[in-house]
Structure 1
């Protein structure tokens, strides 16, 4: 719990561009060769019940992403940032941010630039559902815990998991149950045509009465950035906090 709290506070500062007040650590300081976190993550992937695809990294992007995040590779988050170009789960339905790659051309801290303060976006799904680590936006009691912005109600829902538990859930959890009512017949075919920078826009919107049956809505691929902006605009218009 203490480790999660410290990590959340640190990430919050980084995401809010407050790192200037802290001494920036070098790659040598951030790369932990004595007790790296990547073997732990690899173990979770090896035991996965869901399909997991680790996207290849490039050295330059991995170095840059780790320096921007200022997280050591001893942590699972640092290991994912430095060790992968990102991770796709369930045929690309879920995208976990790493250092970026052609298939998921976003890195962790780059994607968070200009986004909501007090949280760190760590992953998203094909419908424009977003996963974020709480750095204060959702209160002090759940610092370091993951929240999910659900496209079917536009609410930030607590998952009661830290980053490590979130990874394990993505790799081996019951995603069919988690996404009950949000997957349509033949979704795999549509998702396979997306890249990691895209999502599916549904009309009528899933959070409306008319859009509750995902099999009857009109769907098209749009930039994931568009879904982030759209969902937050509607949250503001509807007075959702």
Structure 2
């Protein structure tokens, strides 16, 4: 591929202001992701799935999905697995709602909007990033595309973005997780009690599926918009 995005991404990785780990890729799974996405390695999205198993930022607080990996006893699900791609290439299949491209440990979901995000209740324009916030149970428009989002993640702005959602000792708690786990907070993050005293909440590691399932159920019960698909992993 002429003019791949990977060398440019590698330069960003070297200068990252945020702690970063670039995971090795499962080559076959990375190629499967790229084929079903029908994008080229000239894009940041295509280069990430082809060349990396995923990105781990701030010690694991944010996970960006790539081609998937299983190394050193740790497994990062691939973008294909998280988004339930067909097992074999299907030219008729497309993620019309959008792609889930990252999670954070609290159950926040980063998604790349598809061609009709409004139909799925997501804000922002097609091809732009949106974030499902675990403390409000609502989607927020990030007003940037995928490649700009990667640059933003590496810029060191996560501390500001997560202001009020990190507690003393969070780095040790996150370091103890597997990539299939997140941190459950009780009282829940969207309650007045958690907003008033996050440090006083009870926190424990649980499967990410459980965190996302609870958030979806409460969003429906509380009358906010159904968040829709958050992950198949």
Question: Normalised by the size of structure 1, how large is the TM-score?
Answer: 0.81
Specify every segment of 5 or more residues in structure 1 that has no aligned partner in the other structure, as ranges: 1-32
Q: 2:5, 2:41 within 8 Å by CA — same for their partners in 1?
A: yes
Tell me the equivalent position of 1:206.
Answer: 189
Aligned pair in 2 of structure 1 residues 141, 223: CA closer, same or farther (>3 Å)? Answer: closer
Q: Which residue of 1 aligns with 2:27?
A: 59
Match of residue 158, structure 1, among 128, 131, 141: 141
CA–CA distance in 2 between the matches of 1:156 and 1:55? 28
Equivalent residue number for residue 144 of structure 1: 127
By how many angstroms is 1:35 displaced? 1.2
Considering fraction of residues, name the structure with more strand: 2
Measure the CA separation in 1 of the matches of 2:51 and 2:134. 30
**3-state SS of 2:4 partner:** coil
- Give me the whole-angstrom Cα distance separating, in 2, the residues matched to 1:238 and 1:117: 26
Q: Distance in 2 between matches of 1:62 and 1:196?
A: 18
The match for 2:229 is: none
Alignment partners' CA distance in 2, 1:171 and 1:67: 27
Aligned residues: 208
Corresponding residue for 1:132? 111
What SS does the corresponding residue of 1:148 show, helix, strand or coil?
A: strand
Q: Greater shift after overlay, 34-43 or 99-108?
A: 99-108
**1:215 alignment partner in structure 2:** 199
CA deviation string 1:125-170 (max 9, x = no partner): 0111100111122369611111111111111011111101110111
Deviation by residue 1:165-200 (Cα, 9 ceiling, x = unmatched): 110111113111100000000100010011211100
- Alpha-carbon distance in 2 for matches of 1:222, 1:69: 30
Q: Between Structure 1 and Structure 2, which shows a larger proportion of helix residues?
A: 1
Determine the structure 2 residue equivalent to 1:87: 55
Aligned position for 1:232: 216
State yes or no: 1:77 paired with 2:16.
Answer: no
SS of corresponding position for 2:102: strand
- CA-to-aligned-CA distance 1:94-142 (integer Å, 9 cap, x gap): 100001113343111221129x961211001011110011112236961
SS of residue paired to 1:121: strand
- Superposition RMSD in Å: 1.8
